[in-house]
Amino acid sequence: MTDPYPQPQTAEVRMRMPLNYGTSSADLQSRWDYVIVFPNPPKQVIEVSDERDTIIKRLRAAGLRLRLFYSVGKELVFCKIRAPEELMRREAEFLKMHLQLDPAELRRASFNGIPEYGIAPFPIRDVKQTYRYSPFDYIFAPYFQARDLEHFYMKKGANDSLFASTDRIALIEHIITNHQTGAGCDIDRLVYEEIIVESYPLHEEDEKMALKESWIVWNTSPMNQPFDRICKYFGVKVSLYFLYLGHYTKWLLYPTLMGIVTGTLSYTIPRSDYQAVFAYISPFFGAFMTIWMTIYLENWKRLNSRETLRWGTAHFTETAQLRPQFYGERIPSPINGKSTRYFPPREKLKRVAYSWVVISFLILIVFVIVS
């Protein structure tokens, strides 16, 4: 049986034959999640082609499936990427990715226990219906590849996949960049060094159209947007942005109405009574805005806490990555011992001072010209 994903030819061989990476017919019908765009330099430029070959080999060695093709003008090479379910599960376990647990399975385990793990029944009931959600709703836990625990995880993706669109893209990006178990490609650095042109996730057409039909509706109020679907398709950051936008728009209605009342009064009263009337209205309006601002902010805090609980990001932390433009001396990190870049504070201060001198000089020139 021939390998449907043969190794790419070297740059020297490609100078004599067309681009052919052996994509099977099954892959043409599969879902592709990510794209890396390579430049397609002239045949004489061997170095860029070698870099491209190396990246492709590393992506394939990491277990990713690829499909490569030229752009219309053959100035670019597109590399579509997808990951098998088993590879994503392995990466999710490596990352200890938090996935939502199935409430029905949790309830069943609560009343029956898990004998194989020595866990006795622990029935939990909200007898008085005190809370909006049951004790088993929106529980997230790290993923483990254990066959007897598999049924506890909620299936959010297509074809009974555990991973939603954003989860798939996050896992594929980590496989591409991870040096331990993945391809170890620093995408930002590769873009900065112009080895690749761009990288981006692909839309899933069915999910996109379903989201569009439920979202872009003329009579939808700001707080009735499909935030859960937005979160599932675009991620928590985008969903929180539109949640805040909807909350802000909704709450602006109250000062708008108060402003209309105040403006109407200003047109109905005689000009001679302006000072006397607005001596009372202005403090009242200021007090109203102060109270409105406090309630608006506290309501947002409550809404934000509730939605981050539902979306599993209540205790989320984000690790900052070094920009490719940042350079300095390579030293072991005093925190975890890993290699990191160090830039001397004194050198930084010198450069900042030099920048301010130049900026001040340019501002002075503007003042001289204007005056």
In a shared domain, residues 266 and 342: no
Q: Which of 161, 193, 222 is the C-terminal boundary of a domain?
A: 161
Return the exposure string of 235-274: e unless at least 16 CB atoms fall within 10 Å of the residue's CB, then b: bbeebbebbeebbeeebeeebeeeeeebeeeeeeeeeeee
The conformation of residue 5, written as its DSSP 8-state character, comes to S
Indicate whether 156 and 237 sit together in one domain: no
Q: What is the DSSP string of 146-162?
A: -GGGGGGB---SGGG-S
Same domain, 246 and 296: yes
* Statement to judge: residues 334 and 302 lie in one domain: no
CB of 120 closer than 8 Å to CB of 151: no
The dihedral through the CA atoms of 251, 306, 211, 96 has a sign that is positive
- Total length of the chain: 371
Q: Is residue 18 part of a domain?
A: no
Residue 317 lies in a domain: no
Same domain (yes/no): 278, 345: no
Residue 175 tokens read as: 């496989």
Does residue 46 belong to any structural domain of this protein? no
Closest of 127, 125, 156, 117 to residue 140, by C-alpha: 156
Clarify whether residues 222 and 304 are in a common domain. Answer: yes
Segment (H or E) for 239: helix 236-251
- 220/293 same-domain check: yes
How many structural domains compose the chain? 3
Residue of 243, 351, 225 lying closest to 307 (CA atoms): 243
Q: Are residues 335 and 300 in the same domain?
A: no
Half-sphere exposure of 284 (CA within 13 A, CB side): 9
- With respect to residue 212, please indicate whether it lies within any of the assigned structural domains: yes
Is 263 in the same domain as 222?
A: yes
Q: Is residue 239 part of a domain?
A: yes
- Full pLDDT tens readout for the chain, 371 residues: 333 333 344 333 333 333 443 344 344 446 899 999 999 877 656 666 788 889 999 999 999 999 999 989 888 999 999 999 999 999 999 988 999 999 999 899 888 888 888 888 888 887 778 888 888 889 999 999 888 888 899 988 877 888 988 999 999 999 999 888 888 888 888 898 888 999 999 998 888 999 999 998 888 888 899 999 999 899 999 999 999 999 999 999 999 999 888 888 777 777 777 777 777 788 888 899 999 999 999 999 999 999 998 998 877 666 666 676 677 778 887 777 777 788 888 888 999 999 999 999 999 999 989 87
- How do beta strands 65-70 and 76-82 pair? antiparallel
Among the candidates 106, 134, 161, a domain finishes at: 161
Q: Which residues of 283-313 are buried (b: 16+ CB within 10 A; e: fewer)?
A: eebeeeeeeeeeebeeeeeeeeeebbebbbb
All residues at 6 or more sequence positions from 92 whose CB lies less than 8 Å from its CB, including other chains: 99, 143, 162, 163, 167, 171
Domain-ending residue, one of 161, 179, 195: 161
293 and 217 belong to one structural domain: yes
* Domain assignment present for 176: no
> Considering the entire predicted model, what is its pTM?
0.75
Rg (CA), the chain: 29
Query: What is the domain extent for residue 136?
Result: 86-161
Judge if 108 and 156 occupy the same domain.
yes
Structural domain includes residue 8 = no
Reference 139, options 121, 124, 153; nearest CA is 153
Asked if residue 157 is part of any domain, the answer here is yes
